Amino acid sequence: MSDSEMGSSPEPAEPFLSVRPKNPGKPSGLLRNMSAKLASIPMILTTMVVFVGGTIWTVVYSFTSSKLLPKLNFVGLDQYERLWSTRRWLISIENLAIYGFFSMIFTLVIGFTLAALLDRKIRGENIFRTIFLYPFALSFVVTGLAWQWILNPDLGVQNVVRSMGWESFTFNPLNDPDIVIYGILIAGLWQGTGLIMVIMLAGLRGIDEEIWKAARVDGIGTVKTYIRIVIPMMRPVFVTALVLIASGIIKIYDLVVAQTNGGPGIASEVPAKYVINYMFRAQNLGQGFAASTMMLLSVIIILIPWAYLEFGGKKRG
């Protein structure tokens, strides 16, 4: 297979070549830091073989007609054309867009609100923080199964409200193709907002007390101070939070598998699940590679503006 060969080529040969010291008095460039270089071999292999090599490999093979096994018979953009005309992929993309949009907004709003409330010098801050954050320690599988049970139409929340007298109450997202993605959203927010709250809280704690005093002296209300002064000051924190939320959204997979397994029908499919289904279940590697390349592309689209904001313009270590 050509794969193992391409794995070994990109790693630099320096650490192996410089075993024999040529000039013991003044170590040559290659020999300097020998131990550090040797110790970094796992890192070098990981970055060059898996991250760089693996990514290039997948992108290259996404232009082939590979089915059961990867084969280098190029077919141009065929896989991508097929991908974008597959209903399942389009539904996956639509779901990701809806989930991503609302997840982004709600996570930021809830995360910031909770952090701001906790920052008001309240009693029991630790208890509240512990409660808000514990779902983050749980896996998506556990999260999905817990909410699958709570949203169970016959025995869950819908049943409880109905048995309290509101007979016509309907809340059955997991069996309704039109709103199933919102059922997953509720679970996703439950699991992930705590993390953003912690990051926001750290950001708020980093704001100088003097700013609050100055705002008070100027007679600016609390809410106004947050919106006009504090939030603009926390721009880097918000950017970090956004990048975290966005990269989490694109990866969404196990939550869907556990909560709905893509159902009802294919109504709650997501791109990551599409990739894995085509690669490991449907034996259609080319489709899986094309779909995963699209995922990579979407990450690049998010990362480049962020990298530009963070590292462009002023240079800092």
Partner 1 sequence: MAEALTPRGPKPRRRFSRTNIMLYGTLIVFALYYALPLYVMIVTSLKGMPEIRMGNIFSPPVEVTFQPWVKAWAEACTGINCEGLSRGFGNSVKILIPSLILSIAIASVNGYALANWRFKGSEVFFTILIIGAFIPYQVMLYPLVIILRELGLYGSVWGLVLVHTVFGMPILTLLFRNYFTSVPEELFKAARVDGAGFWGIYFRIMLPMSLPIFVVAMILQVTGIWNDFLFGVIYTKPAHYPMTVQLNNIVNSVQGVKEYNVNMAATLLTGLVPLIIYFASGKLFVRGIAAGAVKG
Total site size for partner 1, rule CB under 8 A:
105
Give residues 165-184 in contact with partner 1 (rule: CB under 8 A): none
Mark the segment that binds partner 1 (CB under 8 A) among 19-27, 88-96, 176-184, 237-245: 237-245
Half-sphere exposure of 300 (CA within 13 A, CB side): 7
Answer yes or no: are the C-beta atoms of 101 and 242 closer than 8 Å: no
Residue 155 found at the interface with partner 1 (CB under 8 A) = yes
Mark the segment that binds partner 1 (CB under 8 A) among 20-28, 45-53, 92-100, 175-183: 45-53
Residue 157 found at the interface with partner 1 (CB under 8 A) = yes
Give the three-class secondary structure for 116: helix
Please identify, using beta-carbon distances, which residue of 98 and 250 lies nearer to partner 1. Answer: 250
Give residues 298-317 in contact with partner 1 (rule: CB under 8 A): 299, 303
Q: Which of 108, 207, 233, 257 binds partner 1 (CB under 8 A)?
A: 257
How far is 274 from 105, CA to CA, in rounded Å?
Answer: 25
Radius of gyration of the chain (CA): 25
What is the closest distance, in whole angstroms, from the C-beta atom of residue 223 to partner 1 in the complex?
A: 8
Give residues 106-145 in contact with partner 1 (rule: CB under 8 A): 110, 113-114, 117-118, 120, 122, 128-142, 145
What does the DSSP 8-state code read for residue 19?
-
Q: What is the DSSP string of 176-192?
A: -TTTHHHHHHHHHHHHH
The amino acid present at 116, given as its one-letter code, is A
At 100, list the tokens.
């991503």
What is the closest distance, in whole angstroms, from the C-beta atom of residue 266 to partner 1 in the complex?
A: 16
Output the CA–CA distances (angstroms, integers) from residue 105 to 92, 110, 196, in the order listed: 20, 8, 12
Residue found under tokens 């410089």: 18
Q: Which of 16, 19, 22, 50 binds partner 1 (CB under 8 A)?
A: 50
